[in-house]
Amino acid sequence: SEWRQLLPDNDLSWKETVATVMEAYKVRTNGAQTEVKGSSLVWKFDEVDPEFGLMQAKEMCVHLNTVLANCPVAIITGKGYVEVRPKGVNKGAMVDHVVSQLYSQVGGVDFILCIGDDSADEFMFQALHARFADRPAGTVPALFTCVVGRKPSSAQYYVNGADEVLELCQSLRLHSTRANRNLSTSDLKGLGRGRVPIRGEGPLNSSMDGSTMRAVFAATRGTSTPFALPAGHGARLASIAASPPPGQRAELGTVDGAAEPIKFTVGQ
């Protein structure tokens, strides 16, 4: 499909002025970089001394606000960058456009999880809340907005860092897998492709044979992964644990002291 513009025939003549100002501050700030995008320019200072970089960024923003006073642009300061872009072009406008496309093409969505860690991501949170704020009950998708880091935000929730984002996504994956009781071998292998340690307990289908269980060893290489198994898996799993694939080990145990279900841990 072809690229589309949110603001057709947008005047970008201001970019030359912005490029000149950013280049001047780049020369004055060791480690700063300028990035030219399709409809915006970004001055990056994430590799600059934090205190000096922030001071230079604030001074540059004052200068830009003066020379661009009559231009239809927005000057955004984010985590380690300053971006100048056309007004109305932001992540909020884009996420609203994507949701509109989903409603027009497939009839809507029933779940939205929006995660961001930067001031520019606040536009997404605000756009989603504004879109569904006045909808009647039963017509609104399950909406979860989440900011990374505990700080003032329009998001409903927060996580402490990127590691918790990965854990959250993995938990969603496990719950989705749990809802599908007939997992394929390729599905199991896919658990390990994300290179994220798999934590927690997930059920395996009681109809799994030895070859399918061996796929678990391959998929979880290098991790320590407990799975709670339905009754009847113990003997079958014990035979695999006795001769795991090369370079692997397996440990068997019970969950909460019960004979069933069996729990096994795979690692190197």
Average pLDDT, the chain: 74
Tell me if 145 sits within 8 A of 154, measured CB to CB: yes
User: pLDDT at residue 140 above 70?
Assistant: yes
Q: pLDDT per residue over 34-73, tens digit each?
A: 999 878 999 999 999 999 999 999 999 999 999 999 999 9
User: pLDDT at residue 241 above 60?
Assistant: no
Q: pLDDT per residue over 184-220, tens digit each?
A: 555 555 544 433 232 333 333 333 344 444 444 444 4
SS3 call for 115 = strand
Question: Pairing between strand 142-148 and 157-159?
Answer: parallel
The H-or-E segment that residue 250 falls in is: strand 249-254
